[in-house]
Amino acid sequence: MFVCWIDELQWMIIACSDSRVDPALVLGLGLGEAFIVRNIASLVPPHSKESGHSSGASAIEYAVLHLKVEHIMIVGHSRCGGIKALLGMKEDGSNRFSEYIEDWIAIANNASKTAKAKCSHDSPFEDQWTCCVKESVNVSLWNCMSYPFVKEAVQQKKLALHGAYFDFVNGDFQRWALNYRVDEPESL
Q: Is 4 one of the annotated binding-site residues? A: no
Q: Is 18 one of the annotated binding-site residues? A: yes
For strands 172-177 and 160-167, give the pairing.
antiparallel
User: How many CB atoms are closer than 10 A to CB 20?
Assistant: 14
SS3 161: strand
User: How many CB atoms are closer than 10 A to CB 12?
Assistant: 24
Q: Is 80 one of the annotated binding-site residues? A: yes
CB 175 within 8 A of CB 74: no
| Full 3-state SS string of 119-157 | CCCCCCHHHHHHHHHHHHHHHHHHHHHCCHHHHHHHHCC
Neighbour-count burial for 29-55, b at 16+ CB within 10 Å, e otherwise: eeeebbbbbbbbbbbbbebeeeeeeee
CB 9 within 8 A of CB 67: yes
User: How many helical (H) and strand (E) elements, i.e. helices and strands, does the chain have?
Assistant: 7, 5
For strands 71-77 and 11-16, give the pairing.
parallel
Q: Is 132 one of the annotated binding-site residues? A: no
Binding site for Zn(2+), residues?
Answer: 16, 18, 77, 80
Binding site, residues?
Answer: 16, 18, 77, 80
